[in-house]
Amino acid sequence: MALLVVRGLRVRYPGAQEDALRGVDLELAPGEFVCVLGPSGAGKSTLIRCINRLVEPASGQIIWDGHDAMRLKGAHLLAYRRQIGMIFQEFHLVDRLPVLANVLMGRFGYVSPWQAAIGRYGPQEVAWARQALARVGLAGYELRRARDLSGGQRQRVAIARALVQRPRLMLGDEPVSNLDPVTARAIMALLAEINRRDGLTMLINLHSVDLARAFATRVIGLSRGQVAFDGPPSRVDRSVLEQVYGTAG
Amino acid sequence: MKAESRLAPPATRRGAGLRFLLVLMAVAAVYGASAAATEFHPVVVVRDADVFVQLLGEMWPDNRERWVFLLTDFLPRLKVPFIQTLQIAILGTLAGAVLAVPFVVLASNNLTRNPVVYAAAKALMNLLRTVPELLYASIFVAAVGFGPFPGVLALTVFSMAIVAKLTSESVEAVDPGPLEALEAAGATRAQVIAYAVVPQVLPLFVSYVLYVFEINVRVSTVLGLVGAGGIGQQLQLMLSLFQYENAFIIILATFVLVAAIDYASARVRARLV
């Protein structure tokens, strides 16, 4: 059964002349590594923000594990979001706080608000956070301030923060666009390794066609708010890129 | 003719000299009208300079015994009113800082999405800030009577408005990234504020509170002039009794106190931000 089904998704931002998404259909099977390509403004960021309901669609369906995710509110919405990890182009860490504190924030969907408010995490929570840091290659960095780390290291912290959510889907909004090519490849390799070993489903927006070809099991091309291509990376050729980007990429 | 006009300076530049002259004349006219209405004549300042010099002479203790008396006998007696002045400033600042917190949340457009609540909170803070502290003090003196109590109330309202305004502007300028990341992880609103907003804003908040404390120390030294307690009440008393030497010592001590607190507070603030 599909992990996620998206049907007829439409989004219009307030004051915009055109829809940001114009009827997107998408199905994700567990364990897929999907990369979303498309020019700036094609709706890549909007699409993944709709999936965890950071952006409210005007119409359409989002079915998560057989359940309607569009009607979720309050505590149910928070419980839905904690099953979906998310990483960002600018990492989105709290720079002043230590690495471990940033990773523990991934547990917010699970601990009670008053527990988090007084910074009380159980030993199990802290152990998971340390494990996640070791997993992304940052064992020993627990007490370093986030702002003292390099870009690649900060994205690793963000990945660890998403992993402690025990997610079933990882969303990535151009997670490697701010990194140099070597670091970008290393981060993509880390995501691919997590995908293979844990079977964690990935839906990652990318700028780089080469990285998508190298790591994805499936590529989706978005063009002006619509799916222009959906298929294996081996089928991404010149004519497909022309279709998605308008000109040869 | 055509070539000449092409070489001439642009129109905006050409009129600049004339416009400057007109502005200068307008400023002079406003100054003259205001001086006439308030019967202020700059000439008087020069003509009656000897009166000022005489007053300064009366303020300056002219012999050793007077100095010894003022510094060893009178100055120690100022300890209580000076401490009261500081206490007024401390109480007003702390209460204002605490009361500011809910208004910071309401007056920040990234924390309060309801436009009516946001606009109302922002407008209230701006309104409270437009009233000078001494006016608050006189109103509270009228309401609750003489003494330090109305002084504390006045500083509380004033501090709350300034701290809330400055801090809410900082909250609106925080990096929105961590807020989005925590929201995506299923965090509640309280968690997002506590972990993504507070760490970014806390040093600025403390710095604003110290800044307002500096202002409050200065203001609390003159609160007594409207009957709201502190050293100002002593100063008022000495001036009305024509005890100019005593008044001079109060002013001198006030200057030293305010300068010391300004300096210390500025040092701390420089380390915070």
Evaluate whether residue B71 is within a structural domain: no
**How many other C-beta atoms are found inside a 10 Å radius of the C-beta of residue A185?**
17
Query: What pLDDT digit, counting tens, does each position of A224-240 carry?
Result: 999 999 999 999 999 99
Tell which of A105, A128, A168 to mutate to test the B interface (max B CBs under 10 Å): A105
Question: What distances in angstroms separate CA B64 from CA B67, B78, B265, one per listed residue?
Answer: 5, 20, 35
Strand residues in A65-119 grouped as ranges (E): 67-68, 84-88
Residue type at B189 in one-letter notation: R
* B43 and B143 share one domain: no
ipTM comes to: 0.90
Cα–Cα dist B74/B241, whole Å: 15
* B151 and B216 share one domain: yes
Mean pLDDT on B171-199: 91
Q: Which tokens hold the place of B63?
A: 């012999």
Pick the most confident of B60-74, B142-156, B189-203: B142-156
Taking CA–CA distances from B184, the nearest residue in chain A reads A81
Q: Which tokens hold the place of A161?
A: 């923060």
Mean pLDDT on A189-217: 96
pLDDT value at B5 more than 70: no
* B38 and B82 share one domain: no
Q: Which tokens hold the place of B257?
A: 């106190």
Taking CA–CA distances from B176, the nearest residue in chain A reads A92
Kindly state whether B114 is in contact with chain A, defined as any CB-CB distance less than 8 angstroms: no
Tell which of A52, A64, A86, A108 to mutate to test the B interface (max B CBs under 10 Å): A108
* Run of H or E including A104: helix A99-104
Cα–Cα dist A136/A159, whole Å: 7
Tell which of B188, B192, B198, B200 to mutate to test the A interface (max A CBs under 10 Å): B188
Give the pLDDT score at B7.
61
B177–A117: do the CB atoms touch at under 8 Å? no
Q: Which tokens hold the place of B191?
A: 């968690």
Superfamily of domain A4-245: P-loop containing nucleotide triphosphate hydrolases (3.40.50.300)
* B8 and B37 share one domain: yes
Place of tokens 């300890």: B79
Taking CA–CA distances from B189, the nearest residue in chain A reads A113
Give the pLDDT score at B178.
94
A105–B185: do the CB atoms touch at under 8 Å? yes
* B162 and B39 share one domain: no
A54–B188: do the CB atoms touch at under 8 Å? no
A117–B190: do the CB atoms touch at under 8 Å? yes
Give the pLDDT score at B216.
94
* B258 and B182 share one domain: yes
Structural domain harbouring B135: 78-272
* B22 and B155 share one domain: no
Confidence of residue A247 (pLDDT cuts 50, 70, 90): low
Mean pLDDT on B187-195: 88
- CA of A79 to nearest chain B CA: how many angstroms apart? 6
Evaluate whether residue B64 is within a structural domain: no
Evaluate whether residue B54 is within a structural domain: yes
Evaluate whether residue B65 is within a structural domain: no
* B214 and B248 share one domain: yes
pLDDT value at B52 more than 90: no
pLDDT value at B191 more than 90: no
A92–B187: do the CB atoms touch at under 8 Å? no
* B26 and B87 share one domain: no
Q: Which tokens hold the place of B259?
A: 């300068």
A54–B180: do the CB atoms touch at under 8 Å? yes
Helix-then-strand count for chain A, H and E: 9, 10
Residue type at A78 in one-letter notation: L
Query: What pLDDT digit, counting tens, does each position of A56-100 carry?
Result: 999 999 999 999 999 998 889 999 999 999 999 999 999 989 999
A244's CB contacts (< 8 A; 6+ apart) are: A37, A38, A39, A42, A221, A222, A223, A228, A229
- The CATH number of the domain holding residue B261 is 1.10.3720.10
Give the pLDDT score at A248.
46
Confidence of residue A249 (pLDDT cuts 50, 70, 90): very low
Evaluate whether residue B23 is within a structural domain: yes
Cα–Cα dist B81/B220, whole Å: 11
A160's CB contacts (< 8 A; 6+ apart) are: A103, A106, A129, A132, A133, A135, A136, A138
* B217 and B126 share one domain: yes
B186–A109: do the CB atoms touch at under 8 Å? yes
Cα–Cα dist A62/A203, whole Å: 15
Give the pLDDT score at B34.
92
- Name the percent of chain A lying above pLDDT 70: 96
Tell which of B113, B179, B180 to mutate to test the A interface (max A CBs under 10 Å): B180
Mean pLDDT on B58-83: 89
The answer to which of A127-141, A209-223, B1-15 has the lowest mean pLDDT is: B1-15
Place of tokens 């049907």: A7
* B102 and B200 share one domain: yes
Q: Which B-chain residues 148-187 have CB contacts (< 8 A) with chain A?
A: 175, 177-178, 180-187
- Residue A171 with chain B: CB contacts under 8 Å: 184
Q: Which B-chain residues 195-254 have CB contacts (< 8 A) with chain A?
A: 195-196, 199-200
- CA of B156 to nearest chain A CA: how many angstroms apart? 28
Evaluate whether residue B148 is within a structural domain: yes
3-class secondary structure for chain B?
CHHHHHHCCCHHHHCHHHHHHHHHHHHHHHHHHHHHHHCCCHHHHHHCHHHHHHHHHHHCCCCHHHHHHHHHHHHHHCHHHHHHHHHHHHHHHHHHHHHHHHHHHHCCCCCCCCHHHHHHHHHHHHHHHHCCHHHHHHHHHHHHCCCHHHHHHHHHHHHHHHHHHHHHHHHHCCCCHHHHHHHHCCCCHHHHHHHHHHHHHHHHHHHHHHHHHHHHHHHHCCHHHHCCCCHHHHHHHHHHCCCHHHHHHHHHHHHHHHHHHHHHHHHHHHHHC
- Residue B193 with chain A: CB contacts under 8 Å: none
- Name the percent of chain B lying above pLDDT 90: 63
Q: At what angle do helices A181-198 and A151-163 cross, to 10 degrees?
A: 20
Give the pLDDT score at B81.
92
Mean pLDDT of chain A: 93
Question: What distances in angstroms separate CA A219 from CA A40, A94, A172, A213, B79, one per listed residue?
Answer: 17, 32, 14, 8, 78
- Residue A79 with chain B: CB contacts under 8 Å: 186
Give the pLDDT score at B56.
87
pLDDT value at A46 more than 90: yes
Give the pLDDT score at B151.
93
Mean pLDDT of chain B: 90
Confidence of residue B190 (pLDDT cuts 50, 70, 90): confident
A19: DSSP letter: -
Give the pLDDT score at B1.
46
| Cα-Cα end-to-end distance for chain B | 61
pLDDT value at A220 more than 80: yes
- Residue B195 with chain A: CB contacts under 8 Å: 94, 97, 105, 108, 116
What value does the CA radius of gyration of chain A take, rounded to a whole number of Å? 18
* B88 and B193 share one domain: yes
- Name the percent of chain B lying above pLDDT 70: 95
Place of tokens 């969303």: A171
Mean pLDDT on B241-269: 92
pLDDT value at A111 more than 90: no
- Name the percent of chain A lying above pLDDT 90: 85
Closest Cβ opposite residue B178 in set A93, A162, A165:
A93
Confidence of residue A166 (pLDDT cuts 50, 70, 90): very high
Evaluate whether residue B72 is within a structural domain: no
Mean pLDDT on A194-206: 96
pLDDT value at B90 more than 70: yes
Cα–Cα dist B48/B42, whole Å: 10
Mean pLDDT on B71-98: 94
> Residue A183 in contact with residue A203, Cβ under 8 Å?
no
Domain count, chain B: 2
Beta bridge partners of B259: none
Evaluate whether residue B183 is within a structural domain: yes
* Run of H or E including A50: helix A44-51
